[in-house]
Chain A
Amino acid sequence: MVRLDKPAEESAQSEAPALPVPGFRIDKRAADAIVWLLLLTMPFWLNWIGGYTQLGTRVVILALAAMSLNFLLGYTGVLSFGHAAYFGLGGYGVGLTLKYLVPNTLVGMGVGIVAAIVAAAIIGALIVRLRGIYFAMVTIAFGQVFYFIAYRWNNVTGGDDGLSGWHRLPINLGFTQIDILHNKLAFYYVVLFCFAVSVGIMALLLRSPFGRTLLAIRENERRARFLGIPVDRHIWLSWLISCTFCSLAGTLYALLNNFSDPHDLHWEQSGNFVIMAVLGGMRSFWGPLIGAGIFIVLEDYISSRTENWESFIGLFFVLVVLFFPRGVLGVIRRRTTQ
C-alpha cells in the first residue's frame, strides 16, 4: 500500500467523529453548507469575477473525478495512476452510443458507466493483490491499453482525431424536458446534481461500517487482516466504487465537450487527477474539489497570460508538496483544529 505522509495523530485529526474538540462538528456542517452554497450559486458569481459558466462546469466534473480517485487514494490508501481509463471509457461510451446507437443522453451515460464498471471489475480482480508502486504501475499499463485501443481503432473511435460528429441531447424526463444542449445553466445544474448524488453516496459509504473498514485497511493492513477482514475484497470494492464515479465524471466531461478525446484515456490525465487530489488535500473529503478548482482556474487564467503557463502550474505543485504536504485544505484544517 502506498503510504504517503501519515503520522497517526494527523489521520485522527482528519476524521471528524474521532475528534474531541468542542464545536468541531458544527464547524464541519458549516463548511459543508458553505461548499454547497458556493457550488449552487457558482454560475452567478463566477461570471462576475471574470470566469464563465463552462469553467464552473469543468471544475465540478473534474472535482468529481478527483474525489472519486480520492475515495481510493485518501480513504483506502491505494494509489491508482490509471483512473483516466475509466474516465475515458465513460466518455467514449456516451459518445459512441449517441453517435451510433441511441440518441438519448441518459442511455448513453448508462452505457458509458456500465462499460467502465465491467472493465474495472475485471481489471480490479486481476490487480487487487498488488500493493504500492506495483499496483500503480499496473494501473498505468491497463490504462494505456484502453488509450491505444481508442488511438488506433480509427473506424470506430476516430483514432487520434477523437470521436466527433455527435452532441449532447436534451434530457427527456417524461413530464418535462431539460435542454442541456443550448442552456448552459441547465447543463451546469444537471452536472451539479450528478455531483451531489455521487458525493452524497461516497460520504454515506465512508460513514458506514464498510467505510470504517477501508480506513482500517489504510491505517494498518496487516492488523485488518488479522481481524479477519477480507482485505483484497474490500480494496476491490473500493476500486470499483471509485472507478464507477470516475466514469460518471467522464461521461459528463464528454458531454461538456461534445467530443470524446483519446487524451482523456491517457495516463497524463490520471496524473492530473492525482495532482488535484494531492493539491487540495487527500485526507479531507472536500480536498480534491479545492484542488480541482485551483488546478483548473490556474490553468485557465495563467495560460491566457503566458505561453510558459505549464511551468507555473508545475512550480505551484512543487511548492504545495514541499510546504503543505497535506494539501491546501489539510493546512486550513490543522489551523482550525489547533
Chain B
Amino acid sequence: MTQPKSFPIGRRTVLKAAAAAGVAQVAAPFVISARAAETVKIGLNDPLTGTYALLGKNEQIGCQLAVEQINKKGGILGRKVELLVEDSTSADTGIAVQKAHKLIDRDKVNFLLGNVNSAMAIALGEVSNQAGILHIVTGGHTDSVTGTDCHWNVFRVCNTTRMETNSVSSTLFKKYGKKFYFITPDYAFGHTLQQGFEAALKANNGTETGASLTPLGSTDFSSYLIKAEASKPDVIIFLTAGQDSVNALKQAVQFGLNKKFGIAGAQQELEVLEGLPPEARIGTWVFEWYWRQPNVPHVKEFVAEIRKVNGGKVPTARHWFGYASTWTCALAANHTKSLNALKMAKFLQNFKLPPEVALMPNNPFYREGDNQLMPTLYVGHAQEKGKDDPEDLFVVDKEVKGVDAALPVAETGCKMKWPA
C-alpha cells in the first residue's frame, strides 16, 4: 500500500472545482443580499399542491388582483405592496407552520393570509399570535378558528361550519321535511357539520333516520346510499367536499335517489359543481359568495377583472376570500396609519367592509369578540346549466345574514385575550 500523496492538484480536481463554482452560480439566489426595504409585504400561506390546490390557487388569484388594485390606489401608507406566496401543501401541517415561520422571520411580512385547510388555519393562528402580526384566515371553516382557538390578531373571512348549517336548515325543513339522513366524511369538518344539523333537528323536533361515516377519498358510495334509501328520510344530506362530493352525487343520481328524496347539504363550491356531469348538478346548498348578483354594486367589475386573469372563468367564493382578505389588510393599515397589528386589530372590531370590497348585500363586518366576518350566505339550488352563461350553475333562493346564522359570541367558546 502506498502512502497517500499530499494534495496533488490534478485535472479532475480542477474540473470538480469548476463544477462546484457552477453549482454555486445556480444556488446564488439563495443568498438574498438586497431587498427593497420600502415595500409592505403580505404573505399568503396556502396549498398550491395536493387536494386543495385548486382552492388555494383561486384564493391566490383573488389576492393578486387586490394587490394590483391597492398599488394603483397608492399602496399601503404610500408604500408599494408585495404579495409573497408559499405552498403549504394540502396535508402536512408541519410544512405549513415552517412556511409561516419563513414568511414571518425571514421575509418579515407585515400580514399573514391563509389557510384553506382548517388544521393549518388553527396552527398558523398560533404562529401569527406568537409573532404578533395581523392574520386573516381565508378559507378554513372549522368553528374553533374563531371559537375555542380564537386570537386577538386572527380574523376570518369565510364562514364557520355552524353558520353554514344554520343558514340552510330552515329552508330544508320547509322544502323537504324533518327527517334527515347524513352522508358524512369521517373527519373533523364533516363531524362538526353534522353536529350543526343535529342541533337544528333537535330544536325543531326533527328526526335523524341514520348517518353513514364515509372515509375521506371514498370512490364507492353505493353501500351508504342503499342504507340511506332504506331508512326513508325526507332528505339525504351530503356533507362531503371536493372529489368526494363529485363521486357521491354522481352515484346518487345513478341510483335515482334524487327522484325519491330531497338531496341537500351545507357548503357547496362552484369548483365542485363544475366538476360534476350536468345531470348531477342537483340539490339545495349554501354558497359563501356567488358571482351573479345583479343588484349588488361593483360585482360586475370584479367578475370582469377576475375573468381577465383566470382564463376567462368567473370568480368563485375562493377568489373573493383572497380578495377581501387582502383588502382588509390595506384598509386596516391605511385607516390607522400604522402597521401595528394591535392598533389594526382594534380598528377592525365591528369594521364594515366598504361596498367595493364587500361585493355582497347586508354590509358584512368583522364581529367584535370573535373576529369572525358576518357575511351574507347564499342559500339556493344547483342547476344543470345556466341560461346565458355555462358557469351559472347555482340559483340563489334566499340570502341569509351572517349574524342570524352565527352563534352568539358567548356560545362560540371564544375567550379573547388582548395583550396588555
Interface residues of A (CB under 8 A from B): 20-23, 47, 49-55, 58, 151-152, 154, 158-162, 164-165, 167, 181-182, 184, 253, 256-259, 261, 263-264, 299-301, 303-304, 307, 309-310
**Residue in contact with B123 in the complex, picked from A49, A258, A301, CB distance below 8 Å:** A258
Known: A164-B122, A184-B105, A307-B48. A49 touches B30 (CB 8 A): yes
**Counting CB contacts under 8 A, is B79 at the interface?**
no
Please, how many angstroms separate the alpha-carbon atoms of A157 and B149 in the complex?
15
Known: A50-B30, A165-B149. A151 touches B123 (CB 8 A): no
B143 closest partner in A (C-beta): A161
B213 closest partner in A (C-beta): A152
**Counting CB contacts under 8 A, is B310 at the interface?**
no
Please, how many angstroms separate the alpha-carbon atoms of A159 and B189 in the complex?
10
Known: A53-B105, A304-B86. A257 touches B48 (CB 8 A): no
Cβ–Cβ < 8 Å partners of A164 in chain B: 119, 122-123, 126, 144, 149
What 1/0 flags go to B158-176 for Cβ under 8 Å of A?
0000000000000000000
Count A-B pairs with CB separation below 8 Å.
111
A273 → chain B, closest Cβ, in Å? Answer: 13
Cβ–Cβ contact B106 & A162, under 8 A: no
Cβ–Cβ contact B92 & A52, under 8 A: no
- 21 A-B pairs within 8 Å (CB atoms) are namely A21-B4, A49-B31, A50-B106, A52-B101, A158-B188, A159-B187, A161-B122, A161-B188, A162-B123, A164-B123, A164-B144, A164-B149, A165-B149, A257-B123, A258-B97, A259-B93, A259-B123, A264-B94, A300-B102, A301-B30, A309-B49
20 more contacts with CB within 8 A, not counting A154-B191, A257-B97, are A21-B4, A23-B4, A47-B106, A49-B31, A50-B32, A53-B105, A54-B102, A55-B102, A159-B187, A160-B188, A161-B119, A164-B149, A165-B144, A167-B126, A253-B94, A258-B127, A304-B86, A307-B48, A307-B87, A310-B49
Known: A160-B119, A160-B189, A259-B123. A181 touches B130 (CB 8 A): yes
Please, how many angstroms separate the alpha-carbon atoms of A250 and B113 in the complex?
28
A338 closest partner in B (C-beta): B4
Give how many B residues have a beta carbon under 8 Å from the other chain's beta carbons: 40
Cβ–Cβ contact B92 & A263, under 8 A: yes
Please, how many angstroms separate the alpha-carbon atoms of A256 and B100 in the complex?
12
Cβ–Cβ contact A261 & B119, under 8 A: yes
**Counting CB contacts under 8 A, is B204 at the interface?**
no
A180 → chain B, closest Cβ, in Å? Answer: 12
Chain B at the A interface: mostly helix, strand, loop or mixed? helix
Please, how many angstroms separate the alpha-carbon atoms of A160 and B118 in the complex?
9
B87 → chain A, closest Cβ, in Å? Answer: 5
Please, how many angstroms separate the alpha-carbon atoms of A45 and B207 in the complex?
64
Please, how many angstroms separate the alpha-carbon atoms of A161 and B190 in the complex?
11
B185 closest partner in A (C-beta): A160
Please, how many angstroms separate the alpha-carbon atoms of A154 and B118 in the complex?
14
Known: A161-B118, A161-B142. A309 touches B91 (CB 8 A): no
Cβ–Cβ < 8 Å partners of A161 in chain B: 118-119, 122, 142, 144, 188-189
**Counting CB contacts under 8 A, is B3 at the interface?**
yes
Cβ–Cβ contact B191 & A257, under 8 A: no
Please, how many angstroms separate the alpha-carbon atoms of A54 and B95 in the complex?
11
Please, how many angstroms separate the alpha-carbon atoms of A167 and B131 in the complex?
13
A166 → chain B, closest Cβ, in Å? Answer: 9
Known: A162-B119, A162-B123. A258 touches B87 (CB 8 A): no
A167 closest partner in B (C-beta): B126
B89 → chain A, closest Cβ, in Å? Answer: 8
Cβ–Cβ < 8 Å partners of B118 in chain A: 160-161
B185-233 CB contacts (< 8 Å) to partner A:
186-189, 191, 216
A285 → chain B, closest Cβ, in Å? Answer: 23
B1-53 CB contacts (< 8 Å) to partner A:
1, 3-4, 30-32, 48-49, 53
A301 closest partner in B (C-beta): B30
Please, how many angstroms separate the alpha-carbon atoms of A161 and B123 in the complex?
9
Please, how many angstroms separate the alpha-carbon atoms of A143 and B118 in the complex?
24
Please, how many angstroms separate the alpha-carbon atoms of A182 and B4 in the complex?
51
Cβ–Cβ < 8 Å partners of B95 in chain A: 299, 303
B88-124 CB contacts (< 8 Å) to partner A:
91-95, 97-99, 101-102, 105-106, 118-119, 122-123
**Counting CB contacts under 8 A, is B148 at the interface?**
yes
Cβ–Cβ contact A52 & B123, under 8 A: no
